[in-house]
Amino acid sequence: MTSASNEPRPAIGEDEAGGLLTIDLAALVANWRTLAAKAGGAETAAVVKADAYGMGIDEAVPALYAAGCRTFFVAHLVEARRTRAAAPDAVIYVLNGLLPGTAAAYPAHDLRPVLGSQEEVEEWAAFCRAGAGRLPAAIHVDTGMNRLGLRAEAALQLAEDAELLGAFTPSLVMSHLVSAEEPEHPINVRQIAAFTHVRERFAGVPASLSNSSGIFLPQAPHFDLVRPGYALYGGNPTPERANPMRPVVQLEARIIQLRWAPDGETVGYNGHWTAQGRRRIATLSVGYADGYLRTASGTNLKSGGEALVAGVRCPFAGRISMDLITLDVSAVPEGAVQRGDKVTLIGNGLTVDEAGKRAGTIGYEMLTDLGERYYRRYLPAGQ
């Protein structure tokens, strides 16, 4: 057993919660193992930024650590400190790099910045020279994202700069793929080639390129370490093929009331959904304030989100409001659904990827938007 608990995070009772979030830590661990097997000899890290994509750092990190994961990536220092508390001797990298003046926080918690620009490299080297010692840091090389990372030419120059490079310990050289979920996209091959060229100049420094989807590319650009995030949490890293990952999240919403919308009347704000015939409407106690994106609203012209009610797929009817979703449950036998019942918004075959698509976005955004009002239940990892 890991430290998983069935304690909800906010002080909220299961019966009073509008929504219930069940997070399967055994599935999370199984996904990490699937990715580790796929990565072959490379080390398999875990990306746990944004509170482990909404799953909870405090629960996800100990489960992954117990399974054998020893390297974690976060975006912010505060996430790194929480990860450190959950995994006392793991290696922890901060992807967003070194904000001015924050260097001292790294050795204080044994954290490593991912240095993403020449300025950051220089600030880190100066901090190390000023007495901190040759502290480890990753070097981020930009091979096409134009977001973070030293340009390849600058990285090649840095590789020759013994004085700058000698001030600290480069512990990882990494880059990030632009379109790994599209295996045919020509930029994959270009980035792999550019990265291979740069990493060869950093002799003896481990290299990392692949996110979740990168692990599945035909070129298998695993290098020394892979950095999956989304696939750990059940997202499909191979959108054009069946999902090799196990679902981790189940999201259920409670029905507050059932009512009849008369033929021709509208449901919800601004009247964008009109009942065609008398329709039975279930009002759910989840809304956009819970992170269920309003862009999943259903109108007569554009279908939106769906929920499973007693095993039947039912469409959202009208605008999602702050705290409520209205659902057309006319297809469900009248006696099979009652006030207080739970319906499934994610789970039982309604995937995170599909929910994202129905909201006009990606599953990543659905996961990381999951709100704080849910009753959270963690299924233990076991071992």
Residues identified as active-site: 49, 269
Q: Which is nearer to ligand PLP, 32 or 230 (CB)?
A: 230
> Could you say which of 124, 230, 273, 292 contacts ligand PLP (CB under 6 A)?
230
**Smallest distance, ligand PLP to C-beta of residue 101, A:** 23
Pairing relationship of beta strands 312-315 and 71-74 according to DSSP bridges: unpaired
Cβ distance 256 to 238 under 8 Å? no
How many angstroms separate the CA atoms of 41 and 134, rounded? 28
Q: Report CA torsion sign: 102, 105, 106, 107.
A: positive
The 3-state DSSP class for residue 282 equals strand
Cβ distance 45 to 61 under 8 Å? no
**Smallest distance, ligand PLP to C-beta of residue 181, A:** 8
Q: Is 47 in the site for ligand PLP (CB under 6 A)?
A: yes
Rounded to 5 degrees, φ, ψ at 65 are: -65, -45
**Smallest distance, ligand PLP to C-beta of residue 229, A:** 3
What six digits make up the tokens of 233?
């949490």
Tell whether residue 55 is among the known ligand binding residues: no
Q: Is 141 in the site for ligand PLP (CB under 6 A)?
A: no
Q: Report CA torsion sign: 5, 9, 15, 21.
A: negative
**Smallest distance, ligand PLP to C-beta of residue 212, A:** 3
User: Which segment (13-21, 163-171, 225-233, 307-315) binds ligand PLP by CB under 6 A?
Assistant: 225-233
Q: Is 222 in the site for ligand PLP (CB under 6 A)?
A: no
Tell whether residue 147 is among the known ligand binding residues: yes
Minimal CB distance residue for ligand PLP? 229
Query: What mask, x for binding ligand PLP by CB under 6 A, covers residues 102 to 131?
Result: ------------------------------
Cβ distance 172 to 94 under 8 Å? no
How many angstroms separate the CA atoms of 46 and 71, rounded? 7
Binding site for ligand PLP (CB under 6 A): 47, 49, 95, 176, 211-212, 227-231
Annotated binding site for substrate: 147, 322
